[in-house]
A and B are shown apart, each in its own frame.
Chain A
């Protein structure tokens, strides 16, 4: 279980704090979605969890272990990251995925690492791309390879930053389906930011609405109310039920 408590962070000493005591909890295998305006602290929260930035105060534990004090290598074996903007240099797809194993092999990849990568490529149907340059592939394919690379870390938690931000609708569905499959089949927890409410509803089990650096509302689908969305986003929406599913509509 991931437990974030009272996380505080600002980018400069006397600057405005970006995280103002953010807390959240996510059980193993759950898909948690972070929602909030631009600048509400979603990406900064991720960066603090992932060890890209160190929080000023607060705690992050994973299965009772202190993630903030853990060695980078050990943390990388628990949490993996699928960034919004993905680069691979011009390594082949195979090498790009093998890169995810660096926290295991350190300097030189061994047979076990090759086999792990081979299996991941097979599971995700990426074998045909293996020898191609990852950088030359399309947005959706690159996203899949970034997921494969994160999988090579054999993490218990995967963090996605706006995974569908640059994708067309077909690829959006593909990536969400892929991520959901990981959560269901491999019992990997997922924490993702998303902008689209309806996408969030179909992807997530648990939702965290962020405002001004704190998680203001947390819960299941029931917390999607017109009032809460107005409070968080300063925007009016209408919620309708179609075939028993909630659908959120813009009012303009």
Chain B
């Protein structure tokens, strides 16, 4: 029974890693509450966090930093796990939340809202203060979400005809995505300078747009997705043996692929609609996880989530610290921070894993 001890050891190691990462997310998340561009001292921040401090300090902590840190944790986890599930179900290492053109469609929707219905929609955030100028603070997000959902439904509808063959999904996603990008370009061509800059700034991706309400909506969607993904872990593992073999083991491959892609896309659509485009998290985090811990989805699903949270927390904190008053686009930082690490991991570990 020697191997049972070995397997038990491995199981304990994986559980240990998951616990350590959970602690890291909590600790780093808490630490990020103390970092920002307002130069608040550690003591003041702690004071405000515990209910003291003056009004301004309390507002900075509770109205700005806490929802922002929560958004980083939730959206990071969501985007990362969405990428992992897309890679597995499409059997394509390059698949990511943007594969189905979700982000492109969201950008088009937001651009339409900002450029075509300009004026009151110039605010890029979900701040209630936008009500002052007569705009619905959610208009941009709502249009972004409507278009990304339309795009997903269109692609999944098209692919149903070809029983969701992975290549068909990826290629139609790319094609439809490029249509949205082209439409956005045309829209921007006719935009005013102000509209154009507002639209471009929207697409940068900014966790500062998060409010408790948007956090709650994102959390609900991400939670539903993650619970489903965790329950399907063995079926995703079966897909690692190849689609045909998975079918012979009793897995309903098309159904699994449809529901997984739908949930992954909705997670992406919701996050992107509220926060703007945050690229690369869905590619980097799942791959780093797989390289370090292997492909068993019982492990990679929770670890990818936490890896995404960590990357987005660190990227956002960095963007707030170096932005000199206004945060740098977090999407750029995730790539700047993640890509070198990603390359180091890919080149640093010996090859031999299938499908990575």
Interface residues of A (CB under 8 A from B): 47, 50-52, 72-77, 79-81, 83, 85-92, 94-95, 99-100, 102-103, 105-109, 127-131, 133, 135-136, 153
Contacts and interface: CB of A to CB of B under 8 A. Distances in A.
B295 A89 contact: yes
Contacts of B237: 89, 91, 95, 99
Nearest to A135: B354
Given A87-B241, A95-B296, A72 B7 contact: no
A77 B250 CA distance: 8
A153 B245 CA distance: 12
Contacts of B355: 87, 89
A79 B245 CA distance: 12
Contact of B249 (A85, A91, A99, A135): A99
Contact of B296 (A76, A89, A100, A127): A89
B350 to A, nearest CB: 11
Interface residues of B, number: 31
A102 B241 CA distance: 13
5 contacts: A72-B247, A81-B245, A87-B355, A99-B241, A135-B352
A47 B241 CA distance: 16
B194 to A, nearest CB: 52
A102 B245 CA distance: 12
B248 A89 contact: no
Contacts of B117: none
A176 B24 CA distance: 52
Contacts of A94: 3, 7
A47 B242 CA distance: 14
A102 B250 contact: yes
Contacts of B55: none
B187 interface: no
B234 interface: yes
Contacts of A92: 7, 10
Contacts of B250: 72-77, 102-103
Interface string B285-316: 00000000011100000000000000000000
Contacts of A129: 3
A100 B249 contact: yes
B247 A102 contact: no
Given A87-B355, A102-B235, 13 more contacts: A75-B250, A81-B245, A83-B245, A87-B354, A88-B354, A89-B237, A89-B296, A90-B294, A90-B354, A91-B237, A106-B234, A130-B4, A133-B294
Given A50-B248, A99-B234, A127 B3 contact: yes
Contact of A90 (B3, B249, B295): B295
A98 B49 CA distance: 49
A103 B249 contact: yes
Nearest to A105: B234
A133 B237 CA distance: 14
A2 B56 CA distance: 78
A135 B353 contact: yes
A136 B352 contact: yes
Given A94-B7, A131-B7, A102 B354 contact: no
B240 A52 contact: no
Given A94-B3, A102-B235, A130-B6, A88 B240 contact: yes
Contacts of A95: 237, 296
B235 to A, nearest CB: 7
Contacts of A50: 244, 247-248
Contacts of A106: 234
Contacts of B6: 130-131
B27 interface: no
Nearest to A155: B248
Interface in B256-310: 294-296
Nearest to B5: A131
B161 interface: no
B50 interface: no
B198 interface: no
When A and B form their complex, which 8 residue pairs have the shortest distance between CB atoms, in order from nearest?
A89-B240, A76-B250, A103-B250, A130-B3, A131-B6, A81-B248, A73-B250, A89-B295
A223 to B, nearest CB: 29
B251 interface: yes
A139 B353 CA distance: 15
A51 B247 contact: yes
Contact of B242 (A72, A80, A87, A127): A87
Contacts of A102: 234-235, 238, 249-251
Nearest to B3: A130
A94 B233 CA distance: 16
Nearest to B8: A131
Contacts of B251: 72, 102
A136 B354 CA distance: 9
Contacts of B186: none
Given A52-B247, A100-B249, A89 B241 contact: yes
B249 A76 contact: yes
Nearest to A85: B242
A72 to B, nearest CB: 5
A131 B2 CA distance: 9
Nearest to B243: A52
Contacts of B252: 72
Contacts of A81: 244-245, 248
